[in-house]
């Protein structure tokens, strides 16, 4: 079952992570399959909202060799302002489905360059549009810049599932999303933020 999935594990700040048992487990594979299904549903809703055929995005995700999962662990830090949790970045993929625990630490950069904390909500996912989907939608969907900060008391976990189409697929904006105001050139004007992570 693993052969069509690329699994990347990343333990931030430590290599002694209690996540080890989860990797390669049935629970992990079940989780990834559930995220694939949720991702396709979201793609269909986005396509509908953009006036595109319902499978416009989702039909490109048969190949999953570039889709990956990452488990992030952020240990507590006595001097949080001096610690790098996960630095400022946008996700380069299409969609990120992020599950975070109750600790909190995710922040999003608003247009006015202010960082705002994303309060954890029980039983919920955070869905990020990535750079590839921003380009694919000719800039209609925005890839958001975000980071994760740490705190003094509690360790924090998050699980990020990054959906990607086949790695050799040419991402081309549909003609329905190109007009006088949104010329195709805009597609390539992705914000210059660093996508060093993910």
Site residues (vs ligand AKG, CB under 6 A)? 70, 72, 86, 91, 98, 100, 106, 146, 148, 158, 160, 197-198
Rounded to whole angstroms, the Cα distance separating 29 from 76 reads: 29
Question: Out of ligand AKG, Fe ion, none, which partner does residue 158 contact, by CB within 5 to 8 A per kind?
Answer: ligand AKG
* Closer by beta carbon to ligand AKG, 52 or else 125: 125
Which H or E run includes 127? strand 126-129
Structure tokens at 171: 């991402």
| Catalytic residue status for 140 | no
81 to 140, contacts with Fe ion by CB under 5 A? 91
Which residue among the candidates 73, 119, 147, 156 is catalytic per the annotation? 156
- Do 162 and 130 touch, CB atoms closer than 8 A? yes
Residue with smaller CB distance to ligand AKG, 46 or 160: 160
Which residues 6+ apart lie within 8 Å of 19 measured at CB? 9, 11, 71, 73, 157
For the CB of residue 47, give the shortest distance to ligand AKG in the complex, in Å. 24
Catalytic residues: 156
């Amino acid at each position: 079952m693993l052969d069509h999935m690329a699994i990347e594990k990343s333990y931030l700040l430590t290599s002694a992570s209690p996540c080890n048992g989860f990797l390669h487990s049935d629970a992990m594979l079940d989780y990834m399959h559930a995220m694939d299904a949720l991702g396709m549903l979201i793609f269909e809703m986005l396509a509908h909202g953009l006036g595109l055929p319902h499978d416009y995005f989702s039909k490109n995700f048969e190949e999953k060799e570039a889709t990956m999962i990452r488990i992030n662990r952020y240990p507590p830090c006595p001097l949080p302002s001096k610690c790098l949790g996960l630095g400022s970045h946008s996700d380069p993929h299409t969609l990120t489905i992020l599950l975070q625990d109750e600790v909190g630490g995710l922040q999003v950069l608003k247009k006015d360059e202010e960082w705002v904390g994303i309060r954890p909500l029980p039983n919920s996912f955070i869905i990020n549009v990535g750079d590839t989907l921003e380009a694919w939608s000719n800039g209609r969907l925005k890839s958001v810049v975000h980071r994760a900060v740490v705190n003094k008391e509690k360790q924090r976990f998050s699980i990020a599932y990054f959906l990607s189409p086949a790695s050799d697929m040419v991402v081309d904006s549909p003609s329905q999303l190109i007009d006088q105001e949104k010329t195709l050139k805009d597609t390539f004007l992705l914000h210059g933020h660093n996508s060093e992570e993910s």
